[in-house]
Amino acid sequence: MFDRLKSYLDSVHARDPAPRSRWEILLYPGVWALGLHRIAHWLFEAKLYFLARMVNHTSRFLTAIDIHPGATIGKNFFIDHGFTVIGETAEIGDNVTIYQCVTLGGTNPTNGEGGKRHPTLEDNVIVGSGAQIIGPIKVGERARIGASAVVTDDVPAGATMVGLKARSTLVPAEEWIKDFIPYGTPNCEDAEGNKVDCIEKLEGELAAMKAEIAALKQAQVAPTDPIVASKKSGTAD
């Protein structure tokens, strides 16, 4: 038991260099929320729903993190800071990191039955602060959800999603993927450490588009128009 706790605290420290000791990590609200959720989930599976909810409400009061007792959570789950909401049918894999103010929310069932309503986060997913992941979608292994992104569709493994509605970035995570990226935000480096100049790449694409537009404009001069034809030939009627 103590070995598992030690391993968990070390996994948190690997993702957050701020604490100076394991004792300090034990004060983290995310650690308390996960520990209390383990108890609430055990009660929930035993169909002791009222007691599970009592533990859930106590945890929310103490940590400002609301994890429904029915949510399934894997190993080494870490909520950095708080104010996070995780719904009943959410499924979270191993080594997942979530920052503050994240919602794993559910859709409203039209048939009146609960069913699977919340997201599934596979192993090693990182969710940036303020992100909203809504509905019974799947976020693939090692995917990164950028800060304040709103995700309502499945996310491929290794993808990095940003924006509202979330879209994939210009630098696919599968090309330079690292073990851990704080806040799920890429820094434009590939796996070999070579710098990728994103601005230069965008400027090159913009220049190519301008050249194509100029060529299209030249090709669109109508020879049947006498005014245009006379201007093009340098003569007048």
Separation in Å, CA 125 to CA 22, 25, 49, 205: 23, 21, 29, 31
**pLDDT tens-digit readout, 93-131:** 999 999 999 999 998 766 556 789 999 999 999 999 999
**pLDDT tens-digit readout, 140-186:** 999 999 999 999 999 999 898 988 887 776 555 454 555 666 666 65
Q: Does domain 2-191 match CATH 2.160.10.10?
A: yes
Report the SS3 class of residue 55.
helix
Rounded to 10 degrees, the C-alpha dihedral 80/85/90/96 comes to: -10
Q: What's the pLDDT at 216?
A: 87
Contact 74, 96 (CB under 8 A): yes
Domain boundaries, the chain: 2-191, 200-233
Contact 22, 7 (CB under 8 A): no
**pLDDT tens-digit readout, 199-226:** 667 677 888 888 888 888 888 765 555 5
Q: What's the pLDDT at 205?
A: 81
One-letter amino acid of 236? A
From CA 224, how far away is CA 215, in angstroms rounded?
A: 19
In terms of residues, how long is the chain? 237
